[in-house]
Amino acid sequence: MGGDFGPRVTVPAAVQALSHFPELKVILIGDRNSITSQLSYLGHQPNARLSIIHTDRVISNTEKPSLALRKSAGSSMGTAIELVADSKADACVSGGNTGALMALSRFRLKLLPGIERPALVSALPTASGRKTWMLDLGANVSSDADSLFQFAVMGSALVEEIIGHAPRVAILNIGAEEIKGNDLVKRCAEMLSQTHEVNFIGYIEGNQLLHDAADVVVCDGFVGNVCLKTCEGTAQLFIDKMKERMMASSIKGWIARKLFSGLFNELKTLNPDQYNGASLLGLRGIVIKSHGSADVEAVVNAIGEAIHEVKRQVPSRISDRLEAVLLERHY
Amino acid sequence: MGGDFGPRVTVPAAVQALSHFPELKVILIGDRNSITSQLSYLGHQPNARLSIIHTDRVISNTEKPSLALRKSAGSSMGTAIELVADSKADACVSGGNTGALMALSRFRLKLLPGIERPALVSALPTASGRKTWMLDLGANVSSDADSLFQFAVMGSALVEEIIGHAPRVAILNIGAEEIKGNDLVKRCAEMLSQTHEVNFIGYIEGNQLLHDAADVVVCDGFVGNVCLKTCEGTAQLFIDKMKERMMASSIKGWIARKLFSGLFNELKTLNPDQYNGASLLGLRGIVIKSHGSADVEAVVNAIGEAIHEVKRQVPSRISDRLEAVLLERHY
């Protein structure tokens, strides 16, 4: 039911994901009428791989997390999280209220041992066509050095599963020199330079974010959220200006479309907004947040991210890594 | 002596600024030999509008601010600030160590009454060709709500002098709704909504930064610095990708250069990096920080910013506005 478009996007995305991923089973949770009418519009109906659980209520986007928590029973989001908690689903994908999703996940799924706060992580595109993962993107509005350190450990464990070797982990800061920054980043840097479990490479600045300077970038949730949205807004501005020119009905526009649609499509992939499926790390279960504005293809991507994390057993990988860090400290 | 290129850039910039601004007088402070050799290379020599003060020492870019402060006497930066403090110069323009410039300015020029921390402010280009001013861009690594409120008052006073009417002032946040954000922004928002001296329009998110959503955007120095550099890095990535295509020696590249150099030049102006001359607000004097990497044209811009602030008596305007805010609170 979540996201700006509800079942009009989530139902076609589920149908498309089922044909993309042969191992997938989907449970659609929400208003049965809306869901079945979308399904029949697409010429589909519930079957062994696609089931529906009806719920009457939806947690709205403006609901405060604390209130959403109290009123979650019987809501589509609450029911989805319950299924994961009861091991009746392997992962939850939601386009709904981020704060509510976080509060519910934390309350019902519980945090992994050694984790004080979950973090929202997502991949950003880079100049060379690779990716940089960034966390926290706003699961928390403030963090201490211990949390930032845990974000680094979690991000490192996640990304190692994806790229196959120890990722370069950096802290986002206002300068690359050791003396730069606030107490938070300085204390986290000190902790990271003392562990062997994370390949810590130091600080990076905002202008290096999309330039492959690190595989994992750690920051507090306020900074991460503002920074990601700034990237998206700047990229969108450039894309819009080019689009304007490409769509012109003049001869120039025609030539631009003929010659530069390849470049234009490449530039579009450099908008972090094109990715979808931010993962809520630190929980004893897999929860993927889809953009509110995501289209069908983007929601399919978010489902793909969930499948990936289930296969790689990301929560266990994180747990193992945390244990190694704790052991390292004791001996 | 400051910036990545020292007198090779600052001296030609001074000469160019003298012909741009007939009312300007320039005092060049630093190594007399380097300065005079640059001047004679340009066919110039000291005259009634261009004088030299020789200093032996330069504060390096890696110097800690506290140490720079102790060793400032006789340095080029220290002497420049002294001249402003002693009313022998109306403004100081420096491309040197930002932390040292701030510490020296604060120590020698003193803060305006009612200001606890100075702030670095600069203009960002926007989609419509207008500007948005943002502060703090990194004069401080952390701030409290009182400081953020003072940034809003200072930014408002500065920008009103430029655009001629009360600017729309917003706080940078992780959401537009009132419930979003950390304690810092919430408390500052409460203070701003209680004053009539600032036209406070609420929160804006990172993706609205370059989209004319506000005339003045207030944030703490860590967030502002990371955010500005993220803008610059993202813009540079798009510009580089286009440039690559435009510079290709193929027929496609030739057509691109013929048809789209206008668009390319427009896009280049959307990189916040193109502006130069960040102002250090909150001092009893005018200090302009020029980018370390600034070229001649950019340093001329920074000198132009200094002239503008001298003419508009920006420190007095800020002082008046602060007094009005204090009066409003008392009655």
Region of poorest pLDDT, from A58-67, A113-122, A176-185: A176-185
Q: Is the pLDDT reported for residue A314 higher than 70?
A: yes
Same domain, B15 and B79: yes
Q: Do residues B68 and B147 both lie within one domain?
A: no
Q: Total domain count for chain A?
A: 2
pLDDT band at B91 (very low <50, low <70, confident <90, very high): very high
pLDDT 10s digits, B94-107: 999 988 999 999 99
Helix (H) or strand (E) holding A26: strand A26-30
Q: For A94-107, what is the mean pLDDT?
A: 92
Contact check, Cβ <8 Å, B226/A245: no
**Helices H / strands E in chain A, number of each:** 11, 10
Over residues A207-232, the pLDDT tens digits come to 999 999 999 999 999 999 999 999 99
- Is A250's pLDDT higher than 90? no
**Residues A58-96: tens digit of each pLDDT:** 999 888 888 888 888 899 999 999 999 999 999 999 999
Q: Are residues B87 and B195 in the same domain?
A: no
Q: Are residues A19 and A44 in the same domain?
A: yes
Please give the interface size between A and B, counted as residue pairs whose CB atoms are below 8 Å apart: 148
Q: For chain B, what percentages of helix, strand and coil (3-state, to nearest 5) are there? A: 50, 15, 35
Is residue A283 assigned to a domain? no
> Are B130 and B231 in the same domain?
yes
Distance from CA of A219 to the nearest CA of B (A): 11
Residue B79: pLDDT band with limits 50, 70, 90 = very high
Task: Tabulate helix, strand, coil % of chain A (nearest 5).
Answer: 50, 15, 35
Q: Look at B48 and A266; give whichever has higher pLDDT.
A: B48
What are the distances in angstroms from CA A273 to CA A102, A222, A267, B136?
A: 21, 18, 12, 27
Mean pLDDT along residues A99-122: 92
Residue A227 to residue B226, Cβ atoms within 8 A: yes
Question: At A187, phi and psi to the nearest 5?
Answer: -70, -40
For B275-290, the pLDDT digits (tens) are: 788 999 999 999 999 9
Q: Which two tokens stand for residue B197?
A: 């001296």
Query: In the prediction, which pLDDT does B330 show?
Result: 67
Residues B70 and B143 both lie in one domain: no
Residue A44: band (very low, low, confident or very high) from pLDDT cuts 50, 70, 90: very high
How many angstroms separate the CA atoms of A139 and A279, rounded? 10
* Alpha-carbon distance values, B202 to A25, B173, B196, B211, B259 (Å): 44, 9, 14, 15, 42
B230·A206 Cβ contact <8 A: yes
Q: pLDDT-derived band of residue A330, with 50, 70 and 90 as boundaries?
A: low
Distance between CA atoms of B30 and B75, rounded to whole angstroms? 8
Q: Is the pLDDT of residue B310 over 80?
A: yes
Q: Which residue has the higher pLDDT, B249 or B302?
A: B302
Burial class (CB in 10 A: 0-12, 13-18, 19+), B198: buried
Q: Is residue B324 part of a domain?
A: no
Confidence of residue B61 (pLDDT cuts 50, 70, 90): confident
On whether both B48 and B103 belong to a single domain, the answer is yes
The pLDDT value given to residue A62: 84
**Confidence class for position A277, pLDDT limits 50, 70, 90:** confident
Q: Do A266 and A149 fall within a single domain?
A: yes
**β-bridge mates for residue A288, sequence order:** A93, A279
pLDDT greater than 80 at residue A146: yes
pLDDT at A265: 81
Which residues in A lie closer than 8 A to residue B182 (C-beta atoms)? Answer: 141-142, 222
Residue A147 included in any domain: yes
Of A207, A242, A245, which has the smallest distance from its Cβ to B229's Cβ?
Answer: A207
Domain end among A54, A82, A109: A109
| pLDDT tier, A306 (very low <50, low <70, confident <90, very high otherwise) | very high
The whole-angstrom separation of Cα A284 and Cα A316 is 8
Q: Identify whether residues B82 and B143 lie together within a single domain.
A: no
Confidence (pLDDT) at B252 = 79
**Lowest-pLDDT choice from A76-80, A249-253, B123-127, B211-215:** A249-253
CB–CB of B260/B246 below 8 Å?
yes
Domain assignment present for B318:
no
φ and ψ of B184, to 5 deg: -55, -55
Q: What is the pLDDT of residue A202?
A: 95
Measured between beta carbons, the chain B residues lying within 8 angstroms of A242 are 263, 267
Does residue A104 register a pLDDT over 80?
yes
Cβ–Cβ < 8 Å for A275, A235: no
Closest CA to B295 of B279, B280, B273, B310: B273
Q: Which of residues 191-220 of B touch A (CB under 8 A)?
A: 205-211, 219
* B198 φ/ψ angles, rounded to the nearest 5 degrees: -130, 135
Segment A238-259 shows an average pLDDT of 81
pLDDT at B216: 98
Contacts of A177 in chain B (CB under 8 A): 62
Q: Is B177 an 8 Å CB contact of chain A?
A: yes
Residues A203 and A239 in one domain: yes
Over pLDDT 70: what percentage of chain A?
A: 99
Percent of chain B with pLDDT over 70: 99
Nearest CA to CA, how far is B112 from chain A (Å)?
A: 25
- Distance from C-alpha of B265 to C-alpha of A284, rounded to nearest angstrom: 51
The ipTM of this complex is 0.89
Cis peptide before B4 (omega within 30 of 0): no
pLDDT band at B176 (very low <50, low <70, confident <90, very high): confident
CATH number for the domain that contains residue A268: 3.40.718.10
pLDDT band at residue A234, thresholds of 50, 70 and 90? very high
Of the pLDDT bands very low, low, confident and very high (cuts 50, 70, 90), residue A331 is: low
Q: Do B241 and A267 touch (CB under 8 A)?
A: yes
* Confidence at residue A92, expressed as pLDDT on a 0 to 100 scale: 97
Q: Are A311 and A116 in contact (CB under 8 A)?
A: no
Chain B residues lying within 8 Å of A259, measured CB to CB: 252, 255-256
In a domain, A81, yes or no: yes
Is B66 part of a structural domain of the chain?
A: yes
Does pLDDT of B331 surpass 70? Answer: no
Arithmetic mean of pLDDT, A28-37: 96
Picking from A109, A143, A165, the residue at the C-terminal end of a domain is A109
Question: Residue A53's domain spans which residues?
Answer: 7-109
Last residue of a domain, one of A59, A84, A109: A109
For tokens 């009428």, name the residue.
A33
- B149-169 average pLDDT score: 94
- For residues B104 and B132, membership in a common domain is answered with no
Task: Tell me if chain B has a CB within 8 Å of the CB of A5.
Answer: no
DSSP labels, A40-76: HHTT---BTTEEEEE-SB---TTS-HHHHHHT-TTBH
CATH label of the domain that carries residue B47: 3.40.50.10950
Closest CA to A299 of A4, A17, A1, A51: A17
**Is A184 inside a domain boundary?**
yes
Mean pLDDT of A44-58: 95
b/e per residue B24-33 (b: at least 16 CB within 10 A): bebbbbbbee
pLDDT at A273 over 80: no
Q: Which of residues 89-108 of A touch B (CB under 8 A)?
A: none
Within-domain flag for B179: yes
Q: What residues of chain A lie within 8 A of the CB of B209, using their CB?
A: 230, 233-234
**Residues A165, A261: one domain?**
yes
